[in-house]
Chain A
Amino acid sequence: MKTIAGVLIIGLLSACASQTTQPTVDVEDRSVGVNGSGADSSALGSGSSGFHPLNDPSSILSQRSVYYDYDSYTVKNEYRSLVIAHAQYLRDNPNAQVILQGNTDDRGSREYNLALGQRRADGVKNIMTLSGARASQVEAVSLGEEKPRAYGSNESAWNENRRTDILYRGE
């Protein structure tokens, strides 16, 4: 578990260096200060060859989060290529499985937010199965407002928490 997290963190550090449009990273542990500033990918490893395709920072598959507008579960166009890339990976790797975790900001009812997070995850699952993934490879669940990545009652925290994360089983 620790080593996987370590690989992820290294991968993500360089991902941040090369992709400024992706706002965040997909690790629970934020203590390493993954801010995307100053990380030099050449200093961290020898290009992409050392990485599993899912963690290769130069691959779209290393991007694992879809973000939403308030009260919305529509997957915005900017995230469709990411979702479709994962669907194609699942199509090409029949043994791979993902769990999609829908999340919401912390305003309102916890159970309603749980259902809203489910809709977000279901929406991603829909695109994935329409794009080649088998339904049995994709489980959509919700964490509602219970696992915020960002704390605080402000727009940036709320934006950060309205999210579906793509997690591969065994990671």
Chain B
Amino acid sequence: MSTHSRIVFHGLLILFLWFMCMPLQARLNIEIFGGGTERIPIAIVPFADENRLQQRVTDVVAADLQRSGLFRLIDPSGLAPYAPAEVVYSDWTNRGANALVIGRTILMPGGQVEVQFRLMDVARQVQLTGLATVVPVTQLRAVAHRIADIIYEALTGDVGVFSTRIAFVKKQGNRYALQIADSDGYNEHSIIEYTEPIISPTWSPDGSQIAYVSFENKKPVVYVQTLATRQRRAVANFPGSNSAPAWSPDGKKLAVVLSLHGGSQIYLINADGSGLQRLTRSSGIDTEPSFSPDGRYIIFTSDRGGSPQIYRIPVTATESTAAERLTFEGNYNVSPDYSHDGKSFTFIHRHNGRFNVAVQDIATRQVQLLTNSQLDESPSFAPNGRMILYATDIGGHGILSAVSRDGQTRQHLSAQTGDIREPAWGPLLKQ
């Protein structure tokens, strides 16, 4: 696809950009494709005294903004303004920066840090926004994500998702852990650990619960776990297999896949496990449901046409309702996830033995392939639809990756060790 030619075309540019970002991004392995002319050029000056902190705030901010694919980082070296009065705007105009981030950190007694930041408009020579806050040193990454969100929102007009969380499954030896981490893969912690597989974690719309599939009883059973209390309940534990949970947008129902009446078919069930209701009726496999954001439709994978393809059905479907086939390219399209504006979905497309992340526009049916790796799995849209989180295989191990919606920026989130799979991007939390 066009991505390939872009790689060749812009190989030098990648190297150049990568080189430029080396000191900042050495661990983060960001790959950028394409010219980046539409990217917002932004200079982020390391905050005053942040080298004395265990976590440099601006490193996190820069990585967040760059990963989104919408920003181009301008090298600030040699210049170090910390306050508006110290900014010489012509310096930044000469370097091509449209926006400038400055600030300072002040270590306070009792392990607290005051963080001040300002976003400056270089052309108009005014402050656009800013923040001053006091936090424990342990919260420095959280503050950095918040700052990245403020900058993102001020410069793109879109909502920032850097303060959201992600869930994924980590396998280490014979242990399977369901983990939660920041959107950049850092600050991971387990919410449950088993010696049997866990798959398909998915966030409740309010972010307070996670549904997942556990094999601890020698077969797949769907559980819902409340994060704050760690309490959990089996919501689908019927004879046969129970899997592929998806939350309705109002959080009241789950779509699940059961083999209760033969085959693998999609059912709706209340979040407390009551009110089971069958949704699909095919003689084949129907699985991987995903609700539209308005709650009216479910897209899912089915092999009813002979090969696994993605279909759409109204949640009010009756026995006579025909599902609408959405994918037609290739003979293996699986794992759909609706975008949060309901206009597109991301999925895994197989071609030439590779499994890659793709996005399809629902109205035009236009498909865009976003990755070119060997084995990608479980794509999950960011709540603002601008990035997609997925798992990819590197040397037999799964790692988390993020790709921008346009496919031009990809990053391995390599903070974790172990075999990572089944990522799910959590919702925006109302503050």
Given A111-B288, A139-B239, A140-B259: A99 in contact with B218 (beta carbons within 8 A): yes
B378 interface residue (CB < 8 Å to A)? yes
Contact with B along A87-118 (1 / 0, CB 8 A): 00000000000010100000111111011101
User: Are B350 and A112 in touch, CB under 8 angstroms?
Assistant: no
- Please name the residue on chain A nearest to B355 by beta carbon: A108
Select one of B199, B257, B263 contacting A146, CB under 8 A.
B199
Select one of A110, A142, A153 contacting B241, CB under 8 A.
A142
A143 to chain B, nearest CB (A): 7
Contact with A along B267-289 (1 / 0, CB 8 A): 00000000000000000011110
With A110-B421, A111-B200 known, 12 other A-B pairs at CB within 8 A are: A107-B375, A111-B288, A112-B287, A112-B288, A112-B308, A114-B243, A114-B257, A115-B286, A122-B263, A140-B259, A143-B197, A146-B197
Interface SS, B side: strand
A116 to chain B, nearest CB (A): 7
B396 interface residue (CB < 8 Å to A)? yes
> In the complex, what residues of B have CB within 8 A of residue A114's CB?
199, 220, 241, 243-244, 257, 264, 287
Could you pull out 19 A-B pairs where Cβ atoms are within 8 angstroms?
A107-B375, A108-B332, A109-B301, A109-B348, A109-B377, A109-B378, A110-B378, A110-B421, A111-B200, A111-B243, A111-B244, A111-B257, A112-B287, A112-B308, A112-B335, A118-B264, A139-B240, A140-B240, A141-B218
Report the separation of the CA atoms of residues A107 and B332 in the bound assembly, to the nearest whole angstrom: 11
Q: How many residues of A contact B (CB 8 A)?
A: 23
Contact with A along B286-317 (1 / 0, CB 8 A): 11100000000000010000001000000000
* Interface residues in chain A, defined as those with a beta carbon under 8 Å from any beta carbon in chain B: 99, 101, 107-112, 114-116, 118-119, 122, 139-144, 146-147, 153
Given A99-B218, A110-B421: A115 in contact with B285 (beta carbons within 8 A): yes
Which 6 A-B pairs give the minimum distances between C-beta atoms? A115-B264, A146-B197, A141-B219, A109-B334, A115-B285, A115-B287
> In the complex, what residues of A have CB within 8 A of residue B355's CB?
107-108
User: Are A141 and B241 in touch, CB under 8 angstroms?
Assistant: yes
Select one of B197, B348, B377 contacting A147, CB under 8 A.
B197
- Please name the residue on chain A nearest to B217 by beta carbon: A141
Report the separation of the CA atoms of residues A101 and B378 in the bound assembly, to the nearest whole angstrom: 24
Given A109-B334, A112-B301, A139-B240: A119 in contact with B287 (beta carbons within 8 A): no
B149 to chain A, nearest CB (A): 32
A108 to chain B, nearest CB (A): 6
User: Are A141 and B335 in touch, CB under 8 angstroms?
Assistant: no
Given A108-B355, A115-B285, A141-B240: A122 in contact with B262 (beta carbons within 8 A): yes
Given A99-B219, A110-B422, A146-B199: A118 in contact with B259 (beta carbons within 8 A): yes
B89 interface residue (CB < 8 Å to A)? no
